[in-house]
Amino acid sequence: MSGSGTILDAIVRAGVPVDLVVADRPCRGLEIGDEAGITSLLVNRTDFGGFSKSFDREAYSAALADALHQHGIDLVAMAGFGTILTSDLHDRFPGRVLNTHPSLLPAFKGWHAVADALASGATETGCTVHVATEALDDGPILAQVSVPILDTDDETSLHERIKLVERALYPEVLTRVMANLSDGLEPASISLSS
């Protein structure tokens, strides 16, 4: 995670077991992990600003993969994680990195999905949970829930309504994925759509 930890809080409240919380910057999410008695780890990203030439994305992805591996993690749930990761992580956890995104993918990929949905004049958007790949906001879709765009919406109000859906959907998908893993099935084999 990279931010306030509201998705983590929803996951914990739903009773989904969490073995490790990792953030790429100091943030409230680490405190939520600590308060819940979960090992919390900062794998600090020292440079921000998109695709800055001074940020070594491959080295960061490898360091993150090493940290997850050292803690025995086998399923990664990204929750508002603001760093795009390379194959250094995805190759270590093939098909085992999940992500939640505030749109109905494949529409409105990227960091500004909510603003892009509003700017497009779309009448609905939503939340998607998918298997993350090296390609941005790509990979098999596990579940989606639509959220109507209201005439009165601005970016903040629409994003808050999407987050309400996300906080219910992501724990549900994680629970199903974990049950499938215990049955020997991979995450991409489930599909929940609403």
**Residues annotated as part of the active site:** 101
Q: Would you call 125 helix, strand, or coil by DSSP?
A: strand
Round the CA-based radius of gyration of the chain to a whole number and report it: 16
Inter-residue contact 193 to 169 (CB < 8 Å): no
106 prior amide bond cis, ω within 30? yes
How do beta strands 124-131 and 97-101 pair?
A: antiparallel
Cα(181)–Cα(74) distance, integer angstroms: 10
Residue among 95, 140, 105 nearest 126 (CA):
105
Instruction: Name residue 19's amino acid.
Output: D
Half-sphere exposure of 112 (CA within 13 A, CB side): 6
Inter-residue contact 60 to 45 (CB < 8 Å): yes
